[in-house]
Copies of this chain bind each other. A is one copy, B any other.
């Protein structure tokens, strides 16, 4: 194990993941902990207790954190930085705690394509990681997709985050899976949100293409009516619904962002493959970047930017 020099952490709403990193930026150990919604009011205490072993082994280490830990309910608020935002501006807006030994990366805000305020917190770090991992993203315009509970569609412009748009597809699907008669005759007893049928998901994508302009509000009931009409197996209902919803999300985003070229997906392997299939079904190429790797790369990149001895000038 290399000598540990940094603790990097992604402290989201439902989970904390801490990485112990060596001087080369490799994660030599990890710890999982409770998310920000559980940590509420005791971030500092929780952080210290989780780090006891690492600190006793490696001495005091600086830490860089992102996610809901920087929200108004977090450890210390790191106010949203308005877009367009360059990596060095995001680094420069980090909030310092404990005399700079702990830094929190701010979220981003923008006025989105629908002229509404929009917000992200945590995803900005994955975007920075993607920019670091794939230098080609720093030139020209690129559309990124960060699928999750609240999927972020992000427009990169010459290495800066120009604007983004949030889609609630993931949350809607999770709510339906857990609670709705659309997905199950006995909602609450099932509630798995894992897509187990590629064929049913693909069928949802294909069906969407027949009426691409229809609102998802007018298509979701199909999941139930097809099931009751024996046109869809009960076990395939969730996957079919997911196909319809993700296709609608993708179609709307591609219409709003006229950006051409490959769409870069930053997320878990499972979600990335669903969005890749939906993009492909609508004639768009995509490339996937692992979300956890992007988070870590982004945390390390911001740490490096902040560790430069002189004024920051570009990435």
Q: Which A residues lie at the B interface, using CB under 8 A?
A: 73, 109, 114-119, 150, 165-169, 171-172, 175-176, 179-182, 185, 207, 210-211, 213-222, 224-226, 228-229, 231, 245, 248-249, 251-253, 255-256
Contacts and interface: CB of A to CB of B under 8 A. Distances in A.
The 9 A-B pairs of least Cβ separation, nearest first, read: A166-B221, A215-B252, A117-B229, A168-B220, A175-B175, A116-B222, A117-B225, A119-B225, A167-B217
A218 B252 contact: yes
A217 B172 contact: yes
B213 A213 contact: yes
B221 A168 contact: yes
Contacts of A217: 167-169, 172, 216, 245, 248-249, 252
A36 to B, nearest CB: 12
Nearest to A249: B217
Contacts of A219: 114, 116
Contacts of A245: 217
A73 B103 CA distance: 58
Contacts of A216: 215-217
Contacts of A210: 114-115
24 contacts: A114-B222, A117-B222, A117-B225, A117-B231, A119-B225, A119-B229, A165-B218, A166-B221, A167-B217, A167-B218, A168-B182, A168-B217, A169-B217, A172-B172, A175-B176, A175-B180, A179-B179, A214-B256, A215-B215, A215-B216, A215-B248, A215-B251, A218-B252, A218-B253
A219 B231 CA distance: 31
A307 B26 CA distance: 82
A109 B228 CA distance: 11
A220 B170 CA distance: 12
